[in-house]
Structure 1
Amino acid sequence: MSPAPASPNATAPKATASMPWTIITCGSLIVLLVFGPRSAMGFFQLPMLSDTGWDRSTFGLAMAFQNLFWGMSQPIFGALADKYGTGRVLVMSGLLYAAGLAVMAFAAAPLWLHVGGGILVGMGIGAGSFSVVLSAFARHVTPEQRSMAFGIGTAAGSAGMFLFAPVSQALISLYGWSDSLVIMGAMMLAVPLLAFPLRGNSRSGSQNAAAFQQSAGEALREAFGHKSYVLLVTGFFVCGYQVAFITAHFPAYLGDIGIDARYAVIAMACIGFFNIIGSLAAGVIGQRYSKPYFLALIYIARSVVVTAFLLLPQTPTSVIIFAVVMGLLWLSTVPPTNALVAIMFGTRHLGLLGGMVFLTHQIGSFLGVWMGGYLYDHFGSYDPVWWLGVALGIFAAVVHWPIVEKPVQRPMMPAAA
């Protein structure tokens, strides 16, 4: 990989400035809480279906709606955070998330499962996800610190996955799946309390005054007229497909191939733990080397790992090895992807433009989760979904390779008075 080009934001604070640790800490705790329950949804599938009599397509559709509404709401919540403040949007995240888990817990029909676990939880994640929290980070750190700050925030989401895998399984064993969802919903009420330090909007921090003259509509037109941004948006679709399918269906898949249920818990915890390492490493690597090339290598590596897992004998040992390696690659795409958006367009509309990138991620997530359930019910196997993910990984590597890591060319604008 070639070294990353110098950061273009000459008006940012000096690189010697210290990290805003209060903002980084509170934002990271929010991401941990937001990503914890949604990453544990796969553990609720079999006990819920056993009690209700629903099929896997029903549960898969609810999780698909969750990913779709997460994606569709992210640009909206990102734009609201840019304009009205991140803190206000994060309060909405906690309330929507808690309500959604409560509705899901008492769902008496598939409709309410889709409304609670799908729409409300999806919007709760969208309001508290990376495009909102990492945009706040970007506005309060130097360009030299940005990739590392993104890595810390992404690692916090990984920590949520690591912690909630055993916690959710323990809660289900002690209290049943319904009460466990209520308990996790109560945990989400901590998000509004943690949101206070992140209450600033896009005018917070050190910004180029001329950037404020660009409207949201102008920012969108500029972004989608920029080839590298379009390629980035297209490639990130694949990330969503791959990770959402595994999150929602991997525990059930292991049960189908005769692997004891405890290894599903261990595997998801391993993905979460090594995801922390992978995310932090991605923040460091993305700061020093070419982000597009790094992303291409991540997608190639995912395809190789899945291929090896499917073709080699599947044992508890191979499951753990697969989880460890996939964990290193899991959310390692997020820091360089967000950093590329910030490099191309600055931070004025980062919540909106980052949200649009994540929208395609969540469209991929919708298809990965829904197709996992649909194709399983149709073919009696998850194999077609796995192999499609391998092919998409190769496609993503090809798409990311030509992305140019430099700011968009803009006409000179007069400085604000």
Structure 2
Amino acid sequence: MNHLRALRPVLPILIGASLLLTLSMGLRQSIGIFVPPLTQDIGISVGQFTLAVAVQNLAWGLFQPFAGAWADRLGYRRLMLGGALLYIAGLAVLMLAQGFIAVLIGAGIAIGASMAATGPAIAMAVSARPVSPAVRSTVLGIVSAAGSLGAMVAAPLGQVLAQAWDWRVGVAGFVALALAMLPAAWHAGKVDAAPSATPPTTTDKLGARAAARVALRTPAFIVMALAYFVCGMQLVFLTTHLPTYLDLCGMDPMLSAQALGAIGAFNILGSLFFGWAGGRWNKLLLLGVIYFVRSLVLGLYFVAPPTPATTLVFASVMGFLWMGVGPLVAGWLVEAFGLRWQAMLGGIAFVSHQLGSTTGAFGGGLIFDAAGSYDAAWQIGVALGLAAGVVQMAFAFIHQRPQPPRPAPA
């Protein structure tokens, strides 16, 4: 209880980080609902749209390490406010798009770069700094859970507006929601003046390049980052291609929004559970379990034709296993390397995640355009996911759990 009372002064920071995360993730995850009407209206292919999504994920991954380093120089408030403005601009460009180039700039480059300053890595870093180690994993799980609410609002709202008017009105609704990112970033930015609840470590005393070298020479970090590739590939394949897959199978278009909403709803439970579990068990082992079980569920769903019931059950289970990865990765990075460079080191690992995301989005589109189905795409995703889960779990068993870093000498 004393630990929970100690959170009261930092609640504005945690609430701001949660709102920023829920909007940035929820809007991005829901863009896939516009694929069928958008591509037909402006005359581009599904493959071209997924190329824009692939560029988005690649830009996000490439900018993430720099955003983590810039936060130490510029402060989190400036970084997050700039990212929120760029996000709004990207959605506005998408809303006005008349061809592929505008889609590439708006949905691809602008939103991708903005995610580096408003997404999970920054939100987790902001949330970890002002809280004590005793409650840090739980707090990260709570913030991650709150960050899952966006898809529950954005996907149904966008689908209703698109069906009542057209997809441009749906994206306009997204722009209106994104405006709330600005006050959220302002309040989360109060972390710049908040004292750290954790003593500095030896890694905290290093420069950015030296800290990166330490991480890249740590075997546990390398394995975690490589498994992160498969995580990104599976999740972005689903958010990008599930609406199109359901449309091909003759499902009601509203089912796509309901499935994305179910993912967001069960994301809350999964984030809370894995945030709690990460404070008690080996975080790397839990990551391996997520990857392995997620791949099994993915294979079971795609092996048979979908129905509304199986789709919602599938979305619910995947949602439970979705963003629980976030608090586990963020918490392990703090344990292994300290707080100062957490966002940057998380960004370096996230490059691998986003290369996987690019593969899932663009590769899935290429396979669909070439074969007319998603069979090969989901089979590859399942095989790689099972392998990543087994390797991550095996490494967690044989590798000693990282001890909390020692405080640096005065």
TM over 0.5: yes
- How well do the aligned residues superpose, as a CA RMSD in angstroms? 1.9
CA-CA distance at 1:323 after TM superposition? 1.1
Query: What's the TM-score once normalised by structure 2's chain length?
Result: 0.93
For the 8 Å contact 2:275–2:328, the answer to whether it is kept is yes
Tell me what 1:406 maps to.
Answer: 402
In the aligned structure 2, how far is the partner of 1:184 from the partner of 1:158? 16
In the aligned structure 1, how far is the partner of 2:21 from the partner of 2:159? 20
Tell me what 2:294 maps to.
Answer: 302
Tell me what 1:11 maps to.
Answer: none
Tell me what 2:225 maps to.
Answer: 233
For the 8 Å contact 2:154–2:174, the answer to whether it is kept is no
User: Structure 1 residues 159, 144: closer, same or farther in 2, change over 3 A?
Assistant: same
Aligned counterpart in structure 2 of residue 389 of structure 1, from 366, 377, 381: 381
User: Structure 1 residues 26, 133: closer, same or farther in 2, change over 3 A?
Assistant: same
Map Cα deviations across residues 78-113 of structure 1 (whole Å, 9 max, x no partner): 111133211111101111001111111112221121
In the aligned structure 1, how far is the partner of 2:317 from the partner of 2:173? 31
For the 8 Å contact 2:57–2:354, the answer to whether it is kept is yes
In the aligned structure 1, how far is the partner of 2:261 from the partner of 2:198? 39
Question: Does the alignment pair 1:119 with 2:109?
Answer: yes
Tell me what 1:165 maps to.
Answer: 155
Query: How many percent identity over aligned positions?
Result: 35
Map Cα deviations across residues 191-214 of structure 1 (whole Å, 9 max, x no partner): 222222332349841343454421
CA-CA distance at 1:71 after TM superposition? 1.2
Q: Where in structure 2 are the equivalents of 1:4-403 lying within 5 Å?
A: 15=3, 18-19=6-7, 20-199=10-189, 200-201=191-192, 204-209=195-200, 211=202, 212-401=204-393, 402-403=395-396
In the aligned structure 2, how far is the partner of 1:49 from the partner of 1:354? 34
How many residues are matched?
401
Map Cα deviations across residues 279-301 of structure 1 (whole Å, 9 max, x no partner): 11111111111211111111111
What amino acid sits opposite 1:323 in the alignment? A
Moved more, 224-233 or 288-297: 288-297
CA-CA distance at 1:413 after TM superposition? 4.6
What amino acid sits opposite 1:274 in the alignment? F
For the 8 Å contact 2:162–2:170, the answer to whether it is kept is yes
Structure 2 alignment gaps of length 5 or more: none
CA-CA distance at 1:128 after TM superposition? 0.2
